[in-house]
Amino acid sequence: HMELVQVKGDYTNEHDRMKEQLANLTNLVDTKTTDLTKSHEMTTSLQRELCASKIETTKAMELMTALSEENFKLKQEAEAMSQSRLQYEQREQERKAEVLRLHAKLEEIHSLVPSPSQDSSKDGNTAVVKAEGVCATVP
């Protein structure tokens, strides 16, 4: 009978120990399940952030492309304006040269046309001398 009590006690102890181990394993599984759930939530959140980042990157690339196109257009406009300015300056030089040519032609015509002060009468010479005297007396 004593042996039976001993065997029953050993069995009960073993049973209690196994129950404790099962409880420990259950706690471990619960902890791992919680960790796995948190990890899954973090992965999902990171995937959402990655998608948002991809969308932002795409928008930024589209904006950069648009800005590059605008920059190219502005460069073309600046080149066209520069060409126009050069053409304007060239026309302005041609106009100045034409004005100088016309002035020279006018001087040539004036030198060919005798003026009243150039005739040989004494009155004309007196007028020139008087004019020179007036200019000389101006301080």
| Number of helices followed by number of strands (H, E) in the chain | 2, 0
> How confident is the model at residue 11, as a pLDDT?
85
Contact 127/117 with Cβ under 8 angstroms?
yes
| Calpha distance 16→23 (Å, rounded) | 10
Confidence of residue 136 (pLDDT cuts 50, 70, 90): very low
User: Does 64 score more than 80 pLDDT?
Assistant: yes
What is the 8-class DSSP label of residue 115? P
Distances (CA, A) of 89 to 75, 80, 97, 109, 130: 21, 14, 12, 30, 46
| Calpha distance 139→131 (Å, rounded) | 15
Confidence of residue 118 (pLDDT cuts 50, 70, 90): low
Structure token pair of residue 85: 């300015």
Question: What is the reported pTM?
Answer: 0.43
pLDDT digits (tens, 9 = 90+) for 70-114: 999 999 999 999 999 999 999 999 999 999 999 999 999 999 988
> How confident is the model at residue 131, as a pLDDT?
47
